[in-house]
A and B are shown apart, each in its own frame.
Chain A
Amino acid sequence: MGTVHARSLDPLPMQGPELGIQADDIEAPEVEQEPKQEVLENKNVVVQRVHIDGLGRTKEDLLTYEIAEVFRANNLIDVMRKSHEARQKLLRLGIFRKVEVNIDTSRGEDALPNGLDVTFEVTELRRMTGSYNTMVGNNEGSMVLGLRLPNVFGRAEKLTFQFSYGTKETSYGLSFFKPQPGHFERNVSFNMYKVTGQFPWSSLRETDRGVSAELSFPMWKTNQTLKWEGVWRELGCLGQNASFAIRNESGHSLKSSLSHAMVVDTRNSSILPRKGGLLKIHQELAGYTGGDARFLKEDFEIQLNKTLYWDSVLSASLWGGLLLPFGDAPTCIADRFYLGGPTSIRGFSMYSMGPQSDGDYLGGEAYWAGGLHLYTPLPFRPGRGGFGDLFRTHFFLNAGNLCNLHYGEGPQAHLKKLAECIRWSYGLGIVLRLGNIARLELNYCIPMGVQSGDRICDGIQFGAGIRFL
């Protein structure tokens, strides 16, 4: 019997945007059945040895879990399938640049007549990779330095460092990620960061310095995350014309919170999914582990997708959230919810809905937002099979509301408040998919139900982002 090579497939994109046909759209490769190989399918084989060649700093005990399944294959087709799965598992660890699989008959003294040797030839990623970019935007220039150390101690730990030095602000982040050997989906990560943000819709400037520890694990069909975060927040006015309500919020505060998130994601892709649904529930309790901020925050996200005739997809989504402060202190503007803009209720300006003071938007303590979309391929399908497949047209209907709650009135009053004065909008546009991470939209929007104080953006609106309603 000759050597059977299972050639490596096109390298799967680990991260970063990459235009092109996405892996989610490809089915697992079918093995061609030649008439001669039908005999092989019924022939029992035993996998005697599995080698991994090309290891440098990776510890072997980490990999034994990933390749254990290959030993259990008992016919040739099964061996090939399990080897392919093991290859996928090795690649998702994020420590190898390339993995090739080699299946051969056993040689040597203790070789059985139906024995097989499987060899994985791996190329490890370099010990340290760096990147350097300069960015220019909004009257500010900055240089961004990134360092990544994959597989620091040999068991798929990852250390990333990013530093951004700008004319106005400086920010940095350090992150350490460690998966449990054998169960990559169970992992823990530690982060330390300083980020600054400028929010012109609220005339607010915010600097956050924080540390966080996060534990992530799967449970049945869900993915659970537990996180502790300690953040020192510094708020300030952006410009001399900020309203007094914003000036009142300036100063320092400390937030120490425990949060829990549960995600069930059965979609086939996170950008422009064709089927499946998403349920995300997140709660955060601040104040019981120290700090000044004391509140309970809940929010959820639901999305359902269904493919209809002629390659079009119907998608419905619903978001909502609630912020309950404890004690007498009012909520801080940095904790409240914001709504509006090309990524949520289209047709309104960015985060320019709800309670405001002198043109500065203060955010709200409760909100809900819903969207109904119909995605179709571009009319006349230009560039079909290539570039044109990245574009979709969509027709949308968005609605939502954002308000503050006056506690002590009971849940009936709160629901009534959220149902009054609903803002909504409809329209159509073009969506461009950027890899597996982001999307761009160009829409023509007609906002309705506009309340006094809201800022609208009717007509053409452009949006770019990761999370869209």
Chain B
Amino acid sequence: MSLAAEAFVSQLAAAEPWPENATLYQPLKEDQILLSDHASSLAVQAYLRMCGLPVQVLCRVNSEFMSPSGKIPFIHVGNQVVSELGPIVQFTKAKGHSLSDGLDDVQRAEMKAYMELVNNMLLTAELYIQWCDDATAAEISRPRYSSPYSWPLSKILAYQKQWEVRRKMNAIGWGGKTLQQVYEDVSQCCQALSQRLGMQPYFFNKQPTELDALVFGHLFTILTTRLTSSELAERVKSYSNLLSFCRRIEQTYFEDKSS
């Protein structure tokens, strides 16, 4: 968001406390949602639970088109609609809830850097595997994406989304990569995260931050989503501290909900 828009949202947000009826919108869980969207949605849900803010998850077929930026998830709080983790963190900060207040400037910069790493590596790899790998696209991504619509609209929308993602991959230089190279990139990213985490419970020792929520969202989804091949999950599993990290967050924040 631009600086002016951020300031405007902060002004508006600061005025009211967090309401009881805040809702989070994502595509249908059973039939429609894809790996990358589920990861992003889970990251936001984890973040809000860590802040102690109640939110109800609603599944809508057209949530991708309802979102103001076109990306999942988005939250509807009072009169405002905010999408994606970054703006949502800003929005909650304006309302007085923040997880990263205890960090100093160096740590905050480090946190931002790692969040960029996850977004540029893990999220892009997920998109690549879903849409640029022909087997996965044909067996999983296209059927799931088009499941709520009738023929021929289902075919048109699925191919349109696939072309859009492939164009984006070409634009950022991932178009020429092979699947093995993408798996290697994922491994490297996990190694960097694993090294940073070490033996600590959270990335910044005692308290979880938005980085923890983001990493949890992506890794947990990768571990629990069935794809055409389980190699992605295997690569993540090879880092045991990341596994225990995911299990810890799940038990602490998600135990009351049956996932």
Contacts and interface: CB of A to CB of B under 8 A. Distances in A.
Interface of A: 232, 235-237, 240, 244, 247-248, 250-254, 290-292
Given A250-B62, A251-B61, A252-B62, A240 B68 contact: yes
Nearest to B61: A251
B62 A232 contact: no
B65 to A, nearest CB: 4
Interface stretch (B150-158, B165-173, B211-219): B150-158
Contacts of B64: 251
B81 A244 contact: yes
Contacts of B95: none
Contacts of A292: 149-150, 153
B121 interface: no
B76 A244 contact: yes
Contacts, number: 37
Contacts of B76: 244
- Give the residue among A235, A237, A240, A250 with the most B Cβ atoms within 10 A: A250
B150 A290 contact: yes
Interface in B19-38: none
A395 B61 CA distance: 50
A232 B156 contact: yes
A235 B66 CA distance: 10
Contacts of A254: 149-150, 152-153
A291 B68 CA distance: 26
A251 B76 CA distance: 17
A201 B149 CA distance: 28
Interface in B38-81: 60-62, 64-66, 68, 76, 81
A247 B151 contact: no
Given A232-B156, A244-B76, A252-B157, A290 B66 contact: no
Contact of B149 (A236, A240, A247, A252): A252
Interface in B139-155: 149-153
Chain B: number of interface residues, binned into ranges: 10 to 19
Contacts of B153: 232, 252-254, 292
Enumerate the 7 nearest inter-chain pairs by beta-carbon distance, A residue then B residue, closest first. Answer: A251-B62, A251-B65, A254-B153, A250-B65, A250-B66, A247-B66, A292-B150
B16 to A, nearest CB: 16
Contacts of B156: 232
B83 to A, nearest CB: 11
A251 B66 contact: yes
Nearest to A358: B79
Contacts of B81: 244, 247
A96 B64 CA distance: 53
A248 B61 CA distance: 10
Contacts of A251: 61-62, 64-66
Contacts of B151: 290
Contacts of A236: 65
Contacts of A247: 66, 81
Given A252-B65, A254-B153, A290-B150, 13 more contacts: A232-B156, A235-B65, A244-B76, A244-B81, A248-B60, A248-B66, A250-B66, A251-B65, A252-B62, A252-B153, A253-B149, A254-B152, A292-B153
A11 B151 CA distance: 49
Contacts of A235: 65
A237 B60 CA distance: 17
Contacts of B157: 252
A292 B61 CA distance: 12
Contacts of B65: 235-236, 250-252
7 contacts: A235-B65, A251-B61, A251-B65, A252-B65, A253-B149, A292-B149, A292-B153
Contacts of A252: 62, 65, 149, 153, 157
A251 B25 CA distance: 14
B77 to A, nearest CB: 11
A42 to B, nearest CB: 69
Contacts of B68: 237, 240
A150 to B, nearest CB: 33
Contacts of B60: 248
Contacts of A253: 149, 153
A8 B34 CA distance: 71
A253 B62 CA distance: 10
B41 to A, nearest CB: 18
Contacts of B66: 247-248, 250-251
Nearest to A230: B152
A250 B74 CA distance: 14
B175 to A, nearest CB: 27
B199 to A, nearest CB: 46
Contacts of B62: 250-252
Nearest to A249: B62
